[in-house]
Structure 1
């Protein structure tokens, strides 16, 4: 049971879904932020941006967000869940582009503290072809997911026991985005 009464069946509205329904006036802007960061027009693919969210969530040990965004990344990346699992297990040896690896290193630094992002990390990302927009949005995705992770875990929301649960929402997010969540 969540730390507060969310006024709904927590078995149906797991993780952040119950929190968004509990407080739609704050939930809508959070969903809009997710939509802009993870699905809007961008040089990084939605799958790559979801991978950043999943990676930060894993580092924060947020089971719900790591599970959700790992599934969301997997359905949008050609290599699927095996690649996502490799990134979580061993970023430096995962078969991803050098640019994405450099951006994930920036995201990892943000997860510790914004002040951990060094000129060297940024220079490495630029040397691998990252644009200022990609660097900016990597930092913002990482910072936002630190907030989302703490929101979900700080209120003790329920987490699915089965990783397969995330595949339903993953297919919906990949095709419809985040904004329809409140309309369901």
Structure 2
């Protein structure tokens, strides 16, 4: 049960965006910018961006964000949707590009202690083809999802247990992006 009175039937951050639209709107705009647009010189796809969000959320043990962004990533990966679960279960052995593995290593360090993002980690990502935009966006996605995760968990928002609920969320996020839910 949530720690505060939130709109019923809206899980996770969706309920928080409706509860406080003046903060919900900029948070949704940030998610849209990070997960759909990105830096002008970034080569990350929306599927990869969603995967980074799901990866960080898994490390933070935030089930709602991990499941919803994993579902969005699966939707966006299409026929390669199994990559998402491979990364979430064992990123070191997942069949993903070396560049994405290097960026996930950076995301992991941002999540655990951002001060440990080293020149060596950044150089390894550059060696694999990461651009400044890729590195920037990976760090900002990881940092932002630490905040989103703590916001969702700190107020004990509704977390569905039915996987089908997340599939629907993933498709909505994959097609419509990030829009504050309408309440009427």
TM range (shorter): over 0.9
Matching residue of 1:57: 57
Output the CA distance in 1 between the equivalents of 2:172 and 2:69: 12
Deviation track 1:76-107 (CA, whole Å, cap 9, x = no partner) reads: 01444421111011111100000000000000
TM-score by length of 1: 0.94
Compute the displacement of 1:132 (Å).
0.6
Gaps of 5+ in 1: none
Q: Which residue of 1 aligns with 2:70?
A: 70
Listed as ranges, the matches of 1:130-141 within 5 Å are 130-141=130-141
Aligned to 1:123: 123
For the residues of structure 2 that align with 1:18 and 1:127, how far apart are their CA atoms? 42
Q: Distance in 1 between matches of 2:46 and 2:100?
A: 13
Aligned length: 180
Query: Which deviates more from structure 2 when the two are superposed, residues 139-148 or residues 40-49?
Result: 40-49
- Say whether the 8 Å CA contact 1:35–1:178 is kept in structure 2: yes
8 Å contact kept, 1:102–1:125? yes
Contact 1:53 1:145 (8 Å CA) reproduced: yes
Runs of 5+ consecutive residues of structure 2 not aligned to the other structure: none
Mapped to 2, the partners of 1:183 and 1:100 lie a distance apart of: 35
Return structure 1 stretches of 4+ with deviation > 4 angstroms: none
User: 1:47 maps to which residue?
Assistant: 47
Q: Secondary structure at the match of 1:43?
A: coil
What is the TM-score normalised by the length of structure 2?
0.94
Match in the other structure for 1:105: 105
Quick one: which of 14, 34, 38 aligns to 1:37?
34
Instruction: Indicate yes or no: 2:82 matched with 1:85.
Output: no
Change (3 A) 1:175 1:137: same
